[in-house]
Homo-oligomer: A and B are copies of this chain.
């Protein structure tokens, strides 16, 4: 079980964007994190397609959040980048082999699939409870309340 590595970038970018007052170019976000410009662009496109960020093209363009940081959950970002397909995919092997269940008995997901779905639901719920705004506060606290002001300063010196 593995989550796309781009999720970490996406979350961090959303935190950064929550502190910006104007569009931030992708190249600048990449520079800030010291990561690949070109690949980050791909991830940002996914955020854009999911409707979490808006991209303004042309000169002085860049990315900005479409709504308040407090209403963007971590789950939103994870699903935007990592996809919203369930981790457990049932192959319906109960319908194969010598003791196969007839299809008319398989109207609903079997017990195994239900257990997996419930666990993923718990995972999603946990991620849904934290917003990007919450995250920004946490990061700020961890740094002794210096991170966000430093970040805003760096964004201003464009």
Contacts and interface: CB of A to CB of B under 8 A. Distances in A.
A93 interface: yes
Contact of A142 (B35, B93, B111, B127): B111
How many copies the complex holds: the figure is 2
A74 B120 CA distance: 13
Nearest to A137: B111
Given A1-B4, A91-B5, A112-B12, A33 B96 contact: yes
B1 A93 contact: no
A46 to B, nearest CB: 14
A28 to B, nearest CB: 10
Given A112-B12, A122-B125, A126-B119, A35 B96 contact: yes
Q: For the complex, would chain A's binding face be called helix, strand, loop or mixed by DSSP majority?
A: helix
Interface of A: 1-5, 7-9, 11-12, 31-35, 74, 78, 82-83, 85, 87-91, 93-94, 96-101, 105, 110-112, 114-116, 118-127, 130, 135, 138-139, 142-143, 147, 150-151, 154
3 shortest A-B CB distances, which residue pairs? Answer: A34-B96, A111-B138, A119-B126
